[in-house]
Amino acid sequence: MGSFVARKLAESGFNVYIYDIEAKNSIFQGYANITVHVGDIFDYDLEALDNEAIFVNMLPGQTGHNLTKRLASAESRQIVDLSFSEKTPDT
């Protein structure tokens, strides 16, 4: 997700888990509550993350739409969709 949003959430006391193909860990130095996972989010078992409180999706276009659809498949997940897609999960 966007580094600005990640830092603001961390500064507000939230634990932030970032999944990014090209994450630059140095951007988040000094933030003990930010964990960076380098790799494609679609390679991760999202069901293993069901205990997380909120998911923030900021991926663009069709990739963001596909992730939102996948996240929305579990009714208990709270999703903030900032994925900049012309589609919504119900389309």
CA distance linking residue 54 with residue 46, whole number of Å = 13
User: Do 60 and 85 share a domain, yes or no?
Assistant: yes
Number of domains in the chain: 2
User: Do 91 and 53 share a domain, yes or no?
Assistant: yes
User: Which parts of 1-91 fold into alpha helices (H)?
Assistant: 3-11, 61-71
pLDDT digits (tens, 9 = 90+) for 1-15: 578 888 999 999 999
Q: What range defines the domain where residue 52 resides?
A: 48-91
pLDDT digits (tens, 9 = 90+) for 75-89: 778 888 777 656 665
Question: Is the Cα dihedral 73, 77, 80, 83 positive or negative?
Answer: negative
User: Do 28 and 54 share a domain, yes or no?
Assistant: no
pTM of the model: 0.72
User: Do 2 and 32 share a domain, yes or no?
Assistant: yes
Close Cβ partners of 54 (under 8 Å, ≥ 6 residues apart): 78, 79, 80
